[in-house]
Amino acid sequence: MASVNRRTFLTTAASATALLASPALVREARASSGVINYIGWAGLDYSAVFDGFEKATGIRINLIAQPEQDTMLAQCRLAVQDGSGDIALPGHQSLPSWYSLDIVQPFDTTRLDVTKYLPGMTGTVEGDVGWHNGAMHFVPAEQRVEESNAIPEEIIAEMRAMGLFGMSIPEEYGGLGLTMEEEVLVGFELGYTSPAFRSVIGTNNGIGSQGIIIDGTEAQKDYWLPRMASGEVIGSFALTEPDVGSDAASVRTTARRDGDSYVLNGTKRYITNAPVADVFTLMARTGGPGASGVTAFLVPASTPGITLGPVDRKMGQRGTRTCDVILEDVRVPLDAVIGVVEGQGFKTAMKVLNRGRLHISSVAVGAAERLCDESVAFARDRQQFGKRIADHQLIQAMLADSGAETWAGRCMVLETARRFDEKARIVKEAAACKMFCTEMVGRVADRAVQIHGGAGYMQDSAVEHFYRDVRLFRLYEGTTQIQQIIIAREMTAG
């Protein structure tokens, strides 16, 4: 696979996917010619984006290539032939820095009211406005994911090409090497759409790669990290067991030393990505009770003795597949232990918790922003008692509460991410972000359904699946109650 650098990542994620600005745009194209004309730079290969979009929506993309390119990105415009003139959106004029996917740019509003096609925009159409470019490529595929409980292979292939599987992996191993601040900015984008898209890359960017980066041997880094960064290997974190959840140090799966190998036995439960995983980062007990007896292993999913249970039927987050992982006399070599040191597994996991909590917090914020945008768009359009429901004060109160809480979460996450990059101690702050943002998005989702009324209870509505999806955020990466314990312990220490 060709190397993916930061510029390629931004160009692919933001510029090309600007054409998928909203489901309304898709409906408009279907109602007219069924073709979207995209004016872009001739030096870029848009085929993966366009082919995936056509498979997801049935709409063909016609690229009108232009030879000019500005200093950072292609000067792009999007036009939909709708019989009344083109809808023209000028391209990206400037960026504060390469990683900013929440683009702010001017629009030419002289020809048509673009809010009809971009209801999620913030600000005014006369000035600078912004929307989630990075997420918009995935939005049209959400219903397909809901119905099939799987992410389309063409989208996974595109995510590989975009470098999303290696966001947090250093560039020397083929990753993008994002800072924490940069990663949460991407997290805001990924959270704006179905959680399944984020989940499939989660372990590769989380404990799967970070455990190796922090505590792995050079041989483990050289073998696994490039494969994870490219998406050739999809990782899965296997910690939870039938009787082990928040008390992670009580792992019962055993790893018995037998000559030049270990023999693993036990059952892991609710393991995300297990049905599609190529490698498990698996916690097993090699010593006595407690955290010091837990060791982290890298176990290829194809290893004899591993079987998978039926795919779990979950409340939400369809497309994110989980199931039991059963290990019966699974034999792995000694160098399958991360760092080839027994008893370090729990410590390794603890070292990457702050990053994981900030990542999930950013995804929760992105989901809240989507819910706010869906609510605003509906409130502007829906008429009751002779006026828009957006003009009714009780609706305004719910919108204001959701908007304020979402903004507070975004600020918390960005500030804490910057402190993480400065090597500050952020145990309390990361736990606070996880607690606030995941609880907050639950409240925002509830208000979104209330604002939509009966329409919000229908499966055709985005807020319906988000209402179910975001409930899980309060459970994984440490429950709200665990975060409360951590915050209070940090506050009262010393």
Active-site annotation, residues:
477
**333-355 burial, b for 16+ CB within 10 Å, e for fewer?**
eeebbbbeebbbbbbbbebbbbb
The three-state (H, E, C) secondary structure of the chain, written as one string: CCCCCHHHHHHHHHHHHHHHCCHHHHHHHHHCCCEEEEEEECCCCCHHHHHHHHHHHCCEEEEEEECCCCCCCCCCEEEEECCCCECCECCCCCCCCCCCCCCEEECCCCCCCHHHCCCCCECCCCCEEECCHHHHCCHHHHHHHHHHCCCCHHHHHHHHHHCHHHCCCCHHHCCCCCCHHHHHHHHHHHHCCCHHHHHHHHHHHCHHHHHHHHHCCHHHHHHHHHHHHHCCCCEEEECCECCECCCHHHCCCEEEEECCEEEEEEEEEEEECHHHCCEEEEEEECCCCCHHHEEEEEEECCCCCEEECCCCCCCCCCCCCEEEEEEEEEEEEHHHEHHHCCCCHHHHHHHCHHHHHHHHHHHHHHHHHHHHHHHHHHHHHCEECCEEHHHCHHHHHHHHHHHHHHHHHHHHHHHHHHHHHCCCCCHHHHHHHHHHHHHHHHHHHHHHHHHHHHHHHCCCCHHHHHHHHHHHHHCCCCCHHHHHHHHHHHHHCC
**Can you tell me the distance from the alpha carbon of 376 to that of 131, in angstroms, rounded to the nearest whole number?**
14
Q: Which two tokens stand for residue 222?
A: 């050289």
Structure tokens at 489: 């312990």
Of residues 187, 83, 202, the one with CA closest to residue 134: 187
Q: In the numeric block, which tokens belong to residue 104?
A: 């702010």
Question: If you search the block for the tokens 């009262």, which residue do you land on?
Answer: 492
